Amino acid sequence: MKMSYMVGFGSKYPTQLHHRGASIPSIQVHPAKVGCNEGYANWYPSSKSNPNIHEGAIVGGPDSSDQFSDLRSAYSHLEPTTYMNAAFVGSVAALVGESGADHCWQVPDLNGTTGAAEDV
């Protein structure tokens, strides 16, 4: 499939996260209040990509047959859950801590350049 299960990483990644904040337009675009029923009825069934990119979120990934459908309704494969993301963040934090680095890490931005981690 050649796709990343981390949103925003690589050229192909999930675009229909099962996540309310990612799947409903921001208040700048849609200033009216969005209640629970409106969010479900108007945006949940949409086949469009999420209007907000939940950058860095890790989703569940493929099923037991190594199949993956980028559909918001496939929540078990497209939810960015804390138990998946926390394990990744904890592991990376441990590696950074063990490296003994005493300088700021450089992280790529969306344009492919690097900036100081404190600026991100």
Tokens coding 38: 């409106």
Active-site annotation holder among 18, 30, 77, 118: 18
Task: Output the CA angle 43-44-45, nearest 5 degrees.
Answer: 95
- CB of 58 within 8 A of CB of 84? yes
Half-sphere exposure of 74 (CA within 13 A, CB side): 16
Instruction: Pick the catalytic residue from 30, 54, 70, 98.
Output: 70
Whether 102 is catalytic is no
**Catalytic member of 19, 79, 102, 103:** 79
Is 55 an active-site residue? no
Nearest to 70 by CA among 21, 118, 117, 1: 1
Whether residue 79 lies in the annotated active site: yes
Residues annotated as part of the active site: 18, 70, 79
